[in-house]
Structure 1
Amino acid sequence: MSDKIPFTFEELVWKSWSHPARLEDCTPAQIAVLEESDPSAKTNEYYLTLIRDEQALKARSQLYNAIMYPREGARRADREFAATAESRVNGCVFCASVHARLFVTFGKDRPSMAALLDEGIGAELPPKLRAIADFAAALAAVPPAAGPEHVAALREVGYSDAEIGDIGNAVAMFAWANRLMLTLGEPERKA
């Protein structure tokens, strides 16, 4: 096991604890699933680990892409912040680093993201991000503790019911995705 990496904006790599599939051993159907999953999937150990069950990876990638990349609904920055908050709660340093950078790209608010990464969910945040962080933390609790007060807080800062659903989907996606990633491997610093 590698040294513990703190939450960071740094670009990390994810290393599988099992033996990922080798691209040259993948079937044409597996290659097609990798290509539709993510542009980097054919060189990424996470996708090459998941491709052993190509139908599950295909379904996972379609769901992920539908939740995180639609043109309508909640802003992309809000979805990325929700993913990062959930990843911060779950301890998924790899996902937090990826989605923190994406949040900064789309949301143009590095100081708020730095506070979340450095201090955790309790960091001082602008009202909209505070509502997302509280919702993510409550949804991450076991059992989930998100309730009408979290939805009301999101409405109070201006989110529509459809946008709240989008943010909830992003949080729920990462509640699952973080656990899968944390079960199969760990992040490492790039060489």
Structure 2
Amino acid sequence: MSNTPPISRFPVPEIGSLPEDLRQRILEVQDKAGFVPNVFLALAHRPAEMRAFLAYHDALLLKEGGGSTNQEASGQGLTKGEREMIIVATSGANRCLYCVVAHGAILRVYEKRPLIADQIAVNHRKADITPRQRAMLDFAMKVCLHADEIEEADYAALRAHGFTDEDAWDIGAIAAFFGLSNRMANLIGLRPNDEFYLMGRVPRQK
């Protein structure tokens, strides 16, 4: 009998039993990553909700613009790495183990910096990031923790670093969406895959 805790406190369906669209999505992720992130297996407990979750996830994180981690700072949206910074910072504030570990791994891979995710998860103001990124995360954390206090000065602080109001929407929407994700992960006791812990920390085996 295995001593490994379950990945969710709710039933986890077999991949082969899933509707074809979800099964194909999971297999595509498996082919790319080399394993199936536990979030896909756990959310498949409710296929209709999983589809809605993935649709909004993809709209926020896979949209065109902000695709390169080497973009200039002004007027070009959020990079993939910056989107992950928002997720890691706000997930840390929401004490979501799964999202900090999983998206911390993705952040390290995108940024090619093995220390960055730990810094941002604990205290983004002490992290080795640019003033622009700090302003971005200040805004994201206010959405995460004090959304009722958002005011025009918060938008002005972003504009001072070259962000547009549409960028502010993206920052806030990512923080808000992962507020949902964090709470669902904690609700179901979602366990991070062991593979995530070392991703982006050590060189890949050739």
What interval of TM-score do these two structures reach, taking the shorter chain for normalisation?
0.7 to 0.9
Structure-to-structure mapping, 1:44-123, within 5 angstroms: 44-72=37-65, 73-117=77-121, 119-123=122-126
Q: Aligned in 2, Cα 1:157/1:76: closer, same or farther, shift over 3 Å? A: same
Q: Aligned in 2, Cα 1:48/1:97: closer, same or farther, shift over 3 Å? A: closer
Per the alignment, in what secondary structure is the counterpart of residue 20 of structure 1? coil
Q: Which has the higher contact order (CA 8 A, sep 6+)?
A: 1
Asked if the contact 2:108–2:116 (Cα under 8 Å) also holds between the matched residues in 1, the reply is no
Q: Aligned in 2, Cα 1:186/1:57: closer, same or farther, shift over 3 Å? A: closer
1:64 positional shift: 0.3
Per the alignment, in what secondary structure is the counterpart of residue 7 of structure 2? strand
Bigger strand fraction: 1
Unmatched 5+ stretches in structure 1: 1-12
1:6 aligned partner? none
The one-character-per-residue Cα deviations of 1:102-130 (angstroms, maximum 9, x if unpaired) are: 2233334554433223x324435531222
Amino acid at match of 2:24: E
Asked if the contact 1:17–1:185 (Cα under 8 Å) also holds between the matched residues in 2, the reply is yes
1:134 aligned partner? 138
Distance 1:133 1:140 in 2: 10
1:184 positional shift: 0.7
Quote the sequence identity (%): 20
Asked if the contact 1:86–1:174 (Cα under 8 Å) also holds between the matched residues in 2, the reply is yes
Instruction: Report the TM-score, using the length of structure 2 for normalisation.
Output: 0.71
Unmatched 5+ stretches in structure 2: 66-76, 196-206
Instruction: Report the TM-score, using the length of structure 1 for normalisation.
Output: 0.76
CA RMSD of aligned residues (A): 2.9
Q: Aligned in 2, Cα 1:82/1:188: closer, same or farther, shift over 3 Å? A: closer
